[in-house]
Amino acid sequence: MKKNLFELEKKINIFFKNKDLLKQALIHRSYLNENPKFHLEHNERLEFLGDAVLELVVTEFLYKTYPDKSEGELTNFRASLVNSQMLSVLAFELDLDKYIFLSKGEAQENSKGKARCYILANAIEALIGSIYLDQDFKKVKKFIEKYFLVKLPEILIKKTYIDPKSKFQEIAQEKTRITPSYKVLKESGPDHDKHFQIGVYLDKDLIAKGEGSSKQEAQIKAAKKALIVKGWED
């Protein structure tokens, strides 16, 4: 499978000394299952490294930029910048999907949706790991500043660092003096593929419902809808 990785290098304005490091960052495990004689490993070790580098750069930036903020606030800011959703958004912005090495089955099965977003998020972290190894800390820091830290002002303005559950609870307590509660309304599917429908309540009143593949995901979606139903969303 041929990929024009020079195109990606031009896009990010980083030209690798070791081209195999760039290629390895984009190799999903499934590709090696289908191509066992391929000369490179999959990207999971690079992803492990990139995750640590990304967290360090973001943490240092937040620590120096916001001396008046508490540890809890800085943790929320950081989580909003390095979570899998943000990682996959940035991967789509870089059009990283077209450069990833996947098995044919994986490419067809996960052409869209949560699984593909997860693969893309991991590839961005692996890319950061490969830049760190091939270039230097200064170069990878510039990459993170350009693609991640630039998102922070909008996050702070929109307060998206506050997750919907926390936001709904905070406003509900302020306006109604009631702490929201969550209840599983429906549960279906086998253990490896569960699906939940959860309701969020203020006292005995059902405000909204959310669905997801985990209770946490369904609760967040329910809280998000509840903010809209109550007119508490910005």
Catalytic machinery residues? 51, 125
The Cα–Cα gap between 32 and 27 comes to: 8
Q: Do residues 97 and 89 touch, judged by C-beta distance below 8 A?
A: no
Angle between helices 71-82 and 84-93 (to 10 degrees): 40
Quickly count: other Cβ atoms within 10 Å of residue 66's Cβ. 14
The Cα–Cα gap between 81 and 85 comes to: 9
- Please report, in angstroms and rounded to a whole number, the separation of the first and last CA atoms in the chain: 46
Angle between helices 44-65 and 137-147 (to 10 degrees): 70
The Cα–Cα gap between 231 and 211 comes to: 21
The Cα–Cα gap between 181 and 160 comes to: 22
| Token representation of residue 124 | 């961005």
What 8-state DSSP symbol labels residue 215? H
Q: Do residues 68 and 140 touch, judged by C-beta distance below 8 A?
A: no
The Cα–Cα gap between 56 and 117 comes to: 23
